[in-house]
Amino acid sequence: MKQFVVDSSYHQFYVADLVLKPDAPVNWTDDDVSKHHLTEKHIAALSPVADIAARVTSCGPDDPIPDFADSFDFEVCTEIEVPAVEVGVFGWPWGMEDRYRIQPGRCSILFRGYATERAEAEEDHYLVKILPVNSVL
């Protein structure tokens, strides 16, 4: 588990295959923004409420989800294909913040936003949990 502040310019940061480093999605719709993500084959662009910087707790497959004082305001579950054995969490543009070794194949991503109503005061925070597909939370 790791905590960091990620560059979330344009209201996005990424979870992606570390070897392929696919291009970030660019064709956002209003629906994608309201769902807080735009996922393509090898990359998930996660959309925090915060612009410029987002406070993130990143958890790998073996890390427990921490208890936060706030309950989450939204939850996203999505999947990407990871043919390599590593998945990374990146800020804009490709600033690596964290990485996890996983089995090649599909990877589930849990993304939660907390205290998003306090984003202007920079008190919002986010969880990214990386899981092998078919895992139970």
The pLDDT score that the predictor gives to residue 51 is: 82
The pLDDT score that the predictor gives to residue 136 is: 54
Count of all residues that appear for the chain in the document = 137
The pLDDT score that the predictor gives to residue 41 is: 96
pLDDT tens-digit readout, 94-132: 789 999 999 888 999 999 999 999 999 999 999 999 997
Distance of alpha carbon 67 from alpha carbon 103, whole angstroms: 27
pTM beyond 0.95:
no
Ranges of residues in the chain whose predicted pLDDT is under 50: none
Domains for the chain: give ranges and CATH numbers.
2-132 (2.60.34.30)
The pLDDT score that the predictor gives to residue 135 is: 62
Three-class SS of the chain: CEEEEEEEHHHCEEEEECCCCCCCCCCCCHHHHHHCEEECCCEEEECCCCCEEEEEEEECCCCCCCCCCCCEEEEEEEEEEECCCEEEEEECCCEEEEEEECCCEEEEEEEEEECHHHHHHCCCEEEEEEEECCCCC
Query: Please, are residues 85 and 103 in contact by the beta-carbon 8 Å criterion?
Result: yes
The pLDDT score that the predictor gives to residue 94 is: 78
